[in-house]
Structures are given as structure tokens and as C-alpha cells.
């Protein structure tokens, strides 16, 4: 009997080729679409990839090459994935309470999330869409990531040393906060080559200040700038139309947002009546100078300075703060090419992508170009329902086709040549069927100067027949594609709970995560078990607690019914992966502390009796014995 390892190379090649062929037939059968006229779709093949980037399947103990940051959608969190395996490593709660870590239950997390006067959370729902990380010299620097909450117009910042949310800011006078992108360097100070701002687009136009006005001609949207360090809103721009997605230039001079509703319609019929919409460009230096000179107003109770970015106020390019480039219909996405030359808008209701040259946009702002639409250097047909675009760093773009259920690979330079009249320019390089109705897309290091063209991930909104049915609510399908060769190769399907949106992934060496906390970062830390105990100030009781596997200190404590109890707990274990949990039955308390972390909860002792508190996170051979008693006396 021969083992697989002892098979001859030809035998192994035969088996793998046969398996790939069978898989390819099955996958093609799932897609009942003919190839479009502008290029044939390559058959998506699962399995080995020959000379390509490699398999999505890693051996036991083998680490992924890339970190991925994924939006969690309605769960209001951020997922951390390893790529190319697609394995989920962590969920970072931001906008919605999380029972595992106690997010939204501890005093520290409630302070970040925001509370009402009675101490309860102001919001308990969220809708994360777009995740982006901080830059230095045009590449990720591992400091921060930001994610938006579309429902309640909030932006959260994540520290990437600990993978925790540390600040949340609500944008004033904004509804439907959708697009978000940090700048890639500070354009004002040449020595500051890292992210100092985060740009945020307001999608839903509303009366400003908000009031129950039915006349939608009086509605407006705002584009916001948030300080990357303080997380305060620095300024806003009043615009015509709305904002959808956001992109920034590599020189730090421009930000942009595509607009799909320049009609300012309040109903979908009116939102799609025009054949062309816009990509709006923001001249950052001019806006900040206008703010400095006080050429601003404020809206309602907000003190944030607002500049005028309407069309009427920005007719002269030499003084304009913004410029509106006309693009085809209802675009959904604007993305920056890694060479820093172009922004690409995809048409959604037009089968085209528009390539805008950034040097020409700057020329328009300088008065060197009369018409801002002359900044368009290509407008080419890709297929039905183009949405979002990624890049491989070799001059190729990859755009999702929602209606065709495909990803199309196309060459930007060839598209420009075709647009100029060279009808022999073959700009479509490849197509691949995906399953089904793809939305967001990103490639390894895609929107950085270090785009490496190894892997591409695509989020498909429908999975239909790809996974076992689990009732009416289907999983969505995230697929991993090898893009290292001329042809795209499908590597893996991954079911995912709905409804995630955008994502980025980048080389693992760009991050230096800490696996143990710094005790000095916590002002309330209980640094020695001898300092644990109970103190009383009237009816307010403070319980200072420590834990070291397998024991809490104190092992017991007493309070009285009606006391307001604040329990401050420090995990004094210094070993990585030695997390503890603390739960108190009937008091709705369960949270964790990682090694050398401190967290606290406040509650009213309103039930008399004995209540065992215990460790909920497996930590030690005596994990079940790790517990203590809270006595609540009458």
C-alpha cells in the first residue's frame, strides 16, 4: 500500500489535475451566465495553483502572511482575519455591546461608547461598513484603524497594538455616514508624512439644522474631517448632492467622494433620473486655510466650522475649495491607484469605469485647465454593475461587477489608450465568475505604495447554493482569489454572517501587536494583591480585586442591599494568553481582563444572598475552582 507522500510526481499531478477539472465543472455549472462580449471569464478553480501565490490552506501551526481588517456589518464590530487562510482571529467590538469581553458593560467601554444621563448606553446598534488603517509614507504604519457606523454617524478608532477600540466620535449634522478614508500624509507640513486626518462622507441629505421639513430641495450633506489623534471633528464642508465612498491621494493634497444622487432625490426613482453624477474633489490645503481665516459658519448647536463647498460658491477654480467631476450613472466607489496617478469611479448603473488623473485635478485648481471634466483620461466599458476597484501594483485594476457576478481584471494604461482612440488596445485582461453579486473587493496592500498583487478578496452578497442551508437567513460568501499570475484563480469560499462590507489586508510585519498589557496604562490598576479589599463611602462601595490563576483576591467580600458597588479588577498574570473572566450570577455581570489589564463595573446590590463570582475564561487546571463569594446583606 502506498501513502500519498510516496506517489510519483506524475501520479500526484494526475490526481490534482483531475480534481481541479471536476471542481471547475461544478463551479461553472453554478453560474448560468455566458461570458460578456468584452472578454471571456476564466473558470474559477479550487485547489492547487502551480506557479501562483499559493494555497489558502495552511499547515497546522503555519502563520498567515497578511493581517486583514474586515467590517462586521450589523454586529457593529471589526473582524480580524489571517490571509490567505481566511481564518477569523478576533472580533473587535466598537459600536455594539459584546458579551464575551464585556464591551458596553464595563465602565471603561461605556465611557468610550457614550451614555445617557442615567448611565445606560446611548446606542446599542451599529452598522459598520468601511475599515481603513493609518499610513506613513504611503504604506500602513500599524498605529490605528478607523471604522464607520452608518446608522448613528459615528467613527471609531482602533489601536492596533492591542486591537481594541479606544475612541468613538459622533459627527454633527450628518446622517448615513458611509465613506471613510484617512489621509496618507499631511500635505501642509512636508516633514509630517503620516496620517493626521480621517475624512468622512455624509450620505443622506437632511435639513441643516435638522427639522421636519418635507421640501427635499432644502436638504444638504456634509463632508467631515476628523483629527486622527484627538478624534475631534476639525471642519466640515457643505456640498450639493451627497457623499458615498471616500478616497485620498498619496501626496496628501486631495480627498474625493463619489456622488450617486446629484439629483438630490428623496425617492429612488428620482435618485437615478440623471445619466451622469459626480466625483467631488476636496482641496485640503485651501479648506484648512479658509477655516484658519474664519471663512466659516456653524450649524445648529455644533461649534464645528463649516465651509461652503456648493457648486455656486466654487465656480472659479483658482479659489475653489472643491470641484465636481462628471461621471456616469450612480457611481458606487472611488479608489486610488498605487502609483498615485489616478482615482477610479465605477458606474453601477453604467457599465463603465472612469479614470481621473489627479495631476490634472490639481491643474484645474491652479487654473491651468478650464474644464474640470477634462481631468477624465478614460471612461471604458467593463460589464454590468461595476462597483469597487482594487489594484495589484502592476498597472492592473480589479473591479466587481454586481449584475454579472464577476470580477474583471483590466489594465489602466491600456484603458487610457483605448479612450484616446487606440481601438487595438486590449484593456480587459481577464474575468472570473464569483458567487454571487459581488460588492466590496480588495487586494493585498492594494491602496498603498507597496501593493504586491498576490491575493484578492471579494465579498459576495448572496451565497445561494454555496453552503449548507440554515433556514431563510443565508450566509454571505467571501472568496479568496490568487492574482499573482495573468489569470485569476479562485482559491477558497468562506461563509460569513451578514452583513459585512469593506476590508483591507496587509503584510503581517507592518503590525507589532502587544500580547500583554502595560499595567501603568491603567490609573485604577490594583498592582498588588495586598492592595485588594473593600472601602466604603456612605452607600458607595469600592471593591478592589486582583486575579492570579487560579485565585481571585479577595476571595469573599460583603456589601449591603442598596449599595452602589464599583468593582475594579486587575489581572496580574503576566503570561500571554492567560485571560480571565469574571461573572456574577443574577447581576448581569460578565467581562474579561487580559494579562495586566484593568477593568471595572458599577452596579447596585439589590438582591440579598450569596453570589458566587467565578472565572468564565478557561485559564488553568483549577479553572473551575477559581471563584469567590459576594455576600449581600439586608
454 Cβ contact list (under 8 Å, min separation 6)? 53, 65, 84, 443, 444, 482, 483, 484
Does residue 71 register a pLDDT over 70?
yes
Residue 191 has pLDDT above 80, yes or no: no
Q: What is the DSSP letter of 340?
A: S
Look at the block and give the residue holding cell 436638504. Answer: 219
Compute the average pLDDT of residues 504-508: 98
For 391-427, letters b (16+ CB in 10 Å) and e give: bbbebbbbbbbbebbbbbbbbbebbbbbbeeeeebeb
Q: How many whole angstroms separate alpha carbon 263 and alpha carbon 274?
A: 7
Residue 470 cell numbers, joined: 440554515
Cα separation, 569 vs 571, in Å, equals 7
Q: Report CA-CA distances (Å) from 442 to 69, 163, 236, 445, 611.
A: 11, 21, 28, 8, 50
**Region 366-394 average pLDDT:** 97
CA–CA dist 182, 251 (Å, integer): 12
**pLDDT digit string (tens) for 288-305?**
999 999 999 999 999 999
What share of the chain has pLDDT > 90, as a percent?
88
For strands 438-443 and 342-346, give the pairing: unpaired
Quote the pLDDT of residue 55.
80
Cis peptide before 436 (omega within 30 of 0): yes
What does the pLDDT look like over 83-123, one tens digit per residue?
Answer: 999 999 999 999 999 999 999 999 999 999 999 999 999 99
Burial 520-537 (b: 16+ CB within 10 A, else e): eebeebbeebeebebeee
DSSP letter string over 24-47? HHHHHHH--PPPPTT-PEEPP--S
- pLDDT over 70, % of the chain: 91
pLDDT, average across residues 399-410: 98
* Nearest C-alpha neighbor of 245 from the set 359, 391, 131, 379: 131
Give the mean pLDDT of 311-325: 97
More confident: 14 or 146: 146
- Strand 428-433 with 41-42, pairing: parallel
Q: Cell match 463570582: residue?
A: 613
- In the chain, what are the domains? 26-55+383-497 (no CATH), 65-170+501-513 (no CATH), 174-224+233-331+355-381 (2.130.10.10), 519-633 (2.60.40.420)
Of 151-160, 181-190, 346-355, the one with minimum mean pLDDT is 181-190
Contact 216, 205 (CB under 8 A): yes
The mean pLDDT of 56-70, rounded to a whole number, is: 95
Q: What is the pLDDT of residue 36?
A: 37
Tell me the pLDDT tens digit for each residue of 427-478.
999 999 999 999 999 999 999 999 999 999 999 999 999 999 999 999 999 9
Dihedral of CA 182/186/187/193: which sign? Answer: negative
| Angle ∠(452,342,175) on CA atoms, nearest 5 | 100
* Coil, helix or strand at residue 532: coil
How many other C-beta atoms can be found within 10 angstroms of the C-beta atom of residue 596?
22
Q: How confident is the model at residue 12 (pLDDT cuts 50, 70, 90)?
A: very low
Mean pLDDT, range 6-25, rounded to an integer: 32
Q: What is the mean pLDDT of the chain?
A: 91
Please, what's the b/e burial string for 236-259 (b: 16 or more CB within 10 A of its CB; e: otherwise)?
A: bbbbbbbbbbbbbbbebbbbbbbb
Position 40 scores a pLDDT of 55
Residue 42's pLDDT is what?
Answer: 55
How many CB atoms within 10 Å of residue 556? 12
pLDDT of 8 higher than 50: no
240 closest CA partner among 322, 302, 137, 121: 322
Band of residue 192 on the pLDDT scale cut at 50, 70, 90: confident
Contact by Cβ (8 Å): 355, 379: yes
Amino acid at each position: 500500500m502506498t501513502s500519498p507522500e510516496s506517489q510519483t510526481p506524475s501520479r500526484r499531478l494526475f490526481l490534482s489535475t483531475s480534481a481541479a477539472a471536476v471542481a471547475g465543472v461544478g463551479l461553472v455549472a453554478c453560474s448560468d451566465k455566458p461570458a460578456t462580449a468584452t472578454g471571456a471569464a476564466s473558470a474559477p478553480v479550487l485547489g492547487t495553483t502551480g506557479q501562483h501565490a499559493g494555497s489558502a490552506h495552511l499547515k497546522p501551526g503555519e502563520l498567515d502572511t497578511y493581517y486583514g481588517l474586515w467590517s462586521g456589518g450589523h454586529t457593529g464590530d471589526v473582524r480580524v482575519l489571517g490571509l490567505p487562510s481566511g481564518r477569523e482571529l478576533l472580533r473587535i467590538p466598537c459600536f455594539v455591546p459584546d458579551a464575551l469581553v464585556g464591551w458596553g458593560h464595563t465602565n471603561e467601554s461605556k465611557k468610550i461608547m457614550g451614555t445617557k444621563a442615567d448611565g445606560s448606553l446611548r446606542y446599542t446598534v451599529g452598522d459598520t461598513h468601511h475599515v481603513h488603517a493609518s499610513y506613513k509614507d504611503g504604506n500602513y504604519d500599524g498605529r490605528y484603524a478607523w471604522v464607520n457606523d452608518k446608522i448613528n454617524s459615528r467613527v471609531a478608532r482602533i489601536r492596533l497594538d492591542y486591537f481594541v477600540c479606544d475612541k468613538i466620535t459622533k459627527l454633527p449634522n450628518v446622517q448615513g455616514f458611509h465613506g471613510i478614508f484617512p489621509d496618507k500624509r499631511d500635505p501642509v507640513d512636508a516633514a509630517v508624512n503620516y496620517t493626521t486626518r480621517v475624512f468622512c462622507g455624509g450620505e443622506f441629505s437632511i435639513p441643516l439644522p435638522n427639522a421636519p421639513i418635507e421640501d427635499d430641495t432644502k436638504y444638504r450633506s456634509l463632508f467631515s474631517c476628523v483629527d486622527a489623534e484627538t478624534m475631534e471633528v476639525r471642519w466640515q464642508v457643505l456640498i450639493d448632492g451627497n457623499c458615498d465612498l471616500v478616497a485620498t491621494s498619496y501626496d496628501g493634497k486631495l480627498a474625493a467622494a463619489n456622488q450617486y444622487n446629484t439629483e438630490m432625490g428623496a425617492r429612488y426613482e428620482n435618485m437615478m433620473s440623471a445619466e451622469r453624477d459626480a466625483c467631488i474633489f476636496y482641496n485640503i490645503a485651501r479648506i484648512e486655510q479658509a477655516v484658519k481665516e474664519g471663512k466659516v459658519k456653524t450649524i445648529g448647536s455644533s461649534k464645528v466650522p463649516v465651509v461652503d463647498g456648493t457648486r455656486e460658491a466654487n465656480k472659479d477654480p483658482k479659489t475653489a475649495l472643491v470641484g465636481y467631476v462628471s461621471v456616469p450613472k450612480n457611481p458606487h466607489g472611488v479608489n486610488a491607484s498605487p502609483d498615485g496617478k489616478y482615482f477610479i469611479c465605477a458606474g453601477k448603473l453604467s457599465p463603465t469605469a472612469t479614470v481621473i488623473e489627479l495631476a490634472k485635478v490639481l491643474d484645474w485648481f491652479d487654473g491651468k485647465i478650464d474644464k474640470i471634466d477634462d481631468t477624465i483620461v478614460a471612461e471604458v466599458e467593463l460589464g454590468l454593475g461595476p462597483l469597487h476597484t482594487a489594484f495589484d501594483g502592476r498597472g492592473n485594476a480589479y473591479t466587481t461587477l454586481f449584475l454579472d457576478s464577476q470580477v474583471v481584471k483590466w489594465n489602466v494604461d491600456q484603458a487610457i489608450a483605448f479612450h484616446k482612440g487606440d481601438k487595438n488596445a486590449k484593456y480587459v485582461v481577464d474575468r472570473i465568475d464569483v458567487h454571487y453579486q459581488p460588492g466590496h473587493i480588495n487586494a493585498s496592500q492594494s491602496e498603498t505604495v507597496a501593493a504586491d498583487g498576490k491575493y484578492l478578496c471579494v465579498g459576495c452578497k448572496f451565497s445561494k447554493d454555496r453552503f449548507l442551508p440554515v433556514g431563510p437567513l443565508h450566509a454571505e460568501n467571501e472568496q479568496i482569489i490568487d492574482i499573482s499570475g495573468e489569470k485569476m484563480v479562485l482559491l477558497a469560499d468562506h461563509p460569513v454572517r451578514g452583513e459585512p462590507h469593506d476590508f483591507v489586508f496587509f503584510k503581517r510585519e507592518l503590525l507589532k501587536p502587544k500580547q500583554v498589557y502595560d499595567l501603568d496604562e491603567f490609573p485604577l490598576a490594583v498592582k498588588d494583591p495586598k492592595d485588594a479589599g473593600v472601602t466604603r463611602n456612605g452607600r458607595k462601595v469600592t471593591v478592589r480585586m486582583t486575579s492570579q490563576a487560579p485565585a481571585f483576591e479577595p476571595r469573599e467580600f460583603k456589601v449591603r442591599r442598596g449599595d452602589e458597588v464599583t468593582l475594579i479588577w486587575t489581572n496580574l498574570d503576566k503570561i500571554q494568553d492567560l485571560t480571565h473572566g469574571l461573572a456574577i450570577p443574577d447581576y448581569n455581570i460578565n467581562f474579561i481582563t487580559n494579562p495586566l489589564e484593568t477593568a471595572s463595573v458599577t452596579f447596585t446590590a439589590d438582591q440579598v444572598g450569596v453570589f458566587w463570582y467565578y472565572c468564565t475564561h478557561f485559564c488553568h487546571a483549577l479553572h473551575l475552582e477559581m471563584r469567590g463569594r459576594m455576600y449581600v446583606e439586608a
